[in-house]
Amino acid sequence: MRFVDEFRDPQAADALVKAIRRTVTRPWTLMEVCGGQTHAIVRFGIDQLLPESLTLVHGPGCPVCVTPIEQIDRAIALARRSDVVLCSYGDMLRVPGSRTDLLAERAAGADVRIVYSPMDALAIAQKTPDKQVVFFAVGFETTAPPNAMAVFQARAMGMANFSALVSHVLVPPAIGAVLDDPDCLVSGFLAAGHVCTIMGCGEYEPIARERGVPIVVTGFEPVDILAGILRCVEMLEGGEVGVANQYARMVRSEGNPSAQRLCAQVFQTVDRKWRGLGSIPRSGWDLRDEYADYDAARRFGLLDMTADEPVECLSGLVLQGRLKPSDCPMFGAECTPERPLGATMVSSEGADNAELNQGHDGAVLDIGAHTAAGGRIAMTTDSYVVRPLRFPGSTIGAMAVNGTANDLAMCCAEPRWLTTGFILEEGLAMETLWEMVCSMAEAARLAGVQIVTGDTKVVEHGRGDGMYINTAGVGLVRPGADSRPQRVTPGDAVILSGDVGRHGMAVMTVREGLEFEAEITSDCAPVWPTVRAMLDAGIDIHCLRDATRGGLASAVVEIAEASGTSIHLTESAIEVQPQVAAACELLGFDPIYVANEGRFVAFVPAGHVDAALEAMADTLPGAHPTVIGRVDASDPGMVALRSVIGGERIVDMLSGEQLPRIC
């Protein structure tokens, strides 16, 4: 992908790493200011490539993380109003307020909508004149111009039902606050390139000069960040202070004067409270008095709302670079991604039952004691609630058949019989129902499975998203086959059956009305023919797992934990189609966490790899089954991913759903 691949080039990255190692002669601590840079550092394992004497700390550069609790509480109070539609960027929904978050409020019935631009919120206000539409305007200087334009246009159009809950923060005062701390250990800074694209570099010059530090304006790809680190280290080693622009292909010294004028017209500089840091003078933007009618906090009487941060939360020290997240006593205990105590955390089922504890996609049952024929069957069940009902490459009907048949295939079972249950929303068009039924029939034919019984129920209009489908399946397990995760053994190879991320992004693009030059189509398809070919070839399959919800990453983590092994993946071996990669980059998604409906991972002994790849390729036209990793016993339950530039990161289970990021 142009403008991406060249800045992820392994040779260029390696050359920069070697230059950094040659340059560093003593300990230095650098702080990257932007959360987007932090994301890239972790994703590509950049910190693992640097010399031990060079430390990277993550600063207060995530506007989502530093939004104060009372501002989240204000957004929640607005969301709870029946006359309000609250529009927000996706990653704000999981940030905790005093007692809850916007994601939980949406689940409880609040009209909280994810948007990709403030102009989306303005359009919603135009379409729903009977509702008050509030846009949660957060971000650094980067997101301020479009937010200012939305308010400017709303005023020009006289839209009385649109307002903004503004929580903009400014980067230079935050850097100053970090440097003012008497315990500050930071030697130099990597400034946020997108902020400087708007504001230019000049406002950093006084900070660098007066505080005696180097500040390097840096981009967001691995080569950008490594080049920024190298320049900062060169300045430190040479005793040089000032501002350097590594991101010159995007940043001009004067920034974007037109955007600056618009922001100055709509916003005024104010003291702003930062979560974890307290109040920083003149560190935020709020609406000017002449735009007070479009200030949601004033319109709805929320200015007096206050909230205290949990005393046990140390996220402020993390944001200042004085503490690593893992050093906090709450980390991973009281503070988890599912229940975050501090905002920096924002960025298991079980039962005492032998069949459920197999850790499989279905239950394998020995029926020898119940029938003269003997043998084993596999049973599974699943429910499908996808919206929209049809999407490029498939439908909810075909997905229901293939999803259940594929779960059986993961048990090395030939899918034979399915049941189906429809939950239909009152008013669903008969043409739509017939389309879904026909798609199920065709999918069943291709999968070689019979739909033998079913049921239909109807719920009130507005209660069902059109259609929900539940399916259950029974298959016959191949004699001698055993693909439970517990069979995974050190030395096994990890084979991926094809490219990843297409299904989830196909659904997302239609659901959110996003358009790309090349259409993204779902990979929804039956996988039993491929599994059967592997079994027929005599492959000793140790484990199979389809990479559905939570994507490839969650599937592999589940297996590592169940088998007590360590799995090492290679990112460059994982195929992602260019249009999928582009969509993921745009939305801030990681492709290895995006759902698939026709892809699986197979764990086989090293000696069976070639035969397995040949058998898989023969039944997967257009796909490229590939070895993407290996299994060892080095760190039981851990999955590590070697990035395209050679760094390594730990891969965790997907917590909740991926949400579009603004930083």
Confidence (pLDDT) at 323: 72
Q: Which residue do the tokens 């929904």 mark? A: 93
How many helices (DSSP H) and strands (DSSP E) are in the chain? 22, 25
pLDDT for residue 351 is more than 50: no
Give the pLDDT band (50/70/90) at residue 357: very low
Look at residue 537 and tell me whether its pLDDT is greater than 60.
yes
Q: Following DSSP, what letter does each residue of 342-410 receive, concatenated?
A: SGGGT-----S-TTGGG-SSSEEEE-TTT-TT--EEEEEEEEE--SSSEETTEEHHHHHHHHHHHHHHT
Query: Cα 546 to the chain's mean position, in Å?
Result: 19
Of 73-87, 361-375, 608-622, least confident by mean pLDDT is: 361-375
Helix (H) or strand (E) holding 514: none
Extract the tokens encoding 178.
């970090």
Give residue 345's pLDDT.
64
- Identify the band that residue 545 occupies on the pLDDT scale cut at 50, 70 and 90: very high
As a whole number, mean pLDDT of residues 631-651 equals: 95
| pLDDT at residue 353 in the model | 36
Dihedral pair phi/psi, residue 67, rounded to 5°:
-60, 125
524: tokens are 């929804």
What integer is the mean pLDDT of 335-342?
66
Q: In 410-473, which residue ranges form alpha helices assigned H by DSSP?
A: 430-447
Say if residues 305 and 77 touch (Cβ distance below 8 Å): yes
Alpha carbon distance 586, 594 (integer Å): 14
What are the strands of the beta sheet with 600-604, ordered from one edge? 543-546, 600-604, 493-496, 626-632, 566-570, 639-642, 648-650
Mean pLDDT of 483-511: 95
Encode 462-493: b = buried (16+ Cβ within 10 Å), e = exposed.
eebbbbbbbbbbbbbbbeebbbbbbebbeebb
pLDDT at 172: 96
- Considering only residues 532 and 339, tell me which one the structure prediction assigns the higher pLDDT: 532
Q: What is the mean pLDDT of residues 331-343?
A: 66
Give the length of the chain: 663
**CB of 473 within 8 A of CB of 404?**
yes
Instruction: Yes or no: say if 642 and 13 are a contact pair by the CB < 8 Å rule.
Output: no
CA-wise closest residue to 189 among 304, 57, 99: 57
Taking residues 21-33, report their average pLDDT: 96
- 3-class secondary-structure state, position 437: helix
- Strands of 232-353, DSSP E: 242-245, 267-274, 278-287
From CA 520, how far away is CA 240, in angstroms rounded? 49
The arithmetic mean of pLDDT across residues 541-546, rounded, is: 97
| Residue 363: pLDDT over 70 | no
Reported as type and span, the H/E element at residue 652 is none
CA angle 373, 375, 379 (to 5 degrees): 120
| Residue 465 binned pLDDT confidence (cut-offs 50, 70, 90) | confident
Q: What is the mean pLDDT of the chain?
A: 90
Of the two residues 342 and 27, the one the predictor is more confident about is 27
CB crowding 433-458: b at 16 or more within 10 Å, else e: beebeebbeebbeebebebeeeeeee
| Closest-CA residue to 577 (of 650, 506, 660, 662) | 506
> What is the rounded distance in angstroms from the CA atom of residue 635 to the CA atom of residue 565?
7
Residue 275 has pLDDT above 90, yes or no: no
Could you tell me how far CA 190 lies from the centroid of its own chain?
Answer: 24
Reported confidence tier of residue 372, pLDDT bands at 50, 70, 90: very low
Instruction: Tell me if 77 sits within 8 A of 328, measured CB to CB.
Output: no
Kindly indicate the confidence band of residue 337, based on its pLDDT and cuts at 50, 70 and 90.
Answer: low
Mean pLDDT over 333-355 rounds to 52
- Per-residue pLDDT band for 516 (boundaries 50, 70, 90) equals confident
- Beta-bridged to residue 604, according to DSSP, are 493
Q: Encode 497-522: b = buried (16+ Cβ within 10 Å), e = exposed.
A: bbbbbbbbbbbbbbeeeeeeeeebbb
pLDDT category at 355 given cuts 50, 70, 90 is very low
- Output the CA–CA distances (angstroms, integers) from residue 498 to 162, 413, 543, 598, in the order listed: 46, 21, 17, 9
The whole-number pLDDT of residue 181 equals: 87
Range in 167-171, 305-309, 561-565 the model is least confident about: 305-309
Q: Which residue's entry shows tokens 């800045």?
A: 7
Enclosing H/E stretch for 590: none
Instruction: Please identify which residue in the block is written with the tokens 């980390």.
Output: 331
Cα-only R_g, the chain: 27
DSSP code, position 464: S
Please tell me the predicted confidence (pLDDT) of residue 74. 97
Looking at residues 604-618, what average pLDDT do you find? 96
Average pLDDT over every residue of 323-344: 68
Q: Where are the beta strands (DSSP E) in 537-652?
A: 543-546, 566-570, 600-604, 626-632, 639-642, 648-650
Where b means 16+ CB within 10 Å and e means fewer, 289-324 reads: eebeebbbbbbbebeeeeeebeeebbbbbbbbbbbe
In the chain, % of residues over pLDDT 70: 91
Tokens coding 156: 């020009």
Q: How far apart are CA 232 and CA 240, in angstroms?
A: 9
Each residue of 136-148: pLDDT tens digit? 999 999 999 999 9
Residues 6+ away with beta carbon under 8 Å from 484:
358, 359, 360, 364, 543
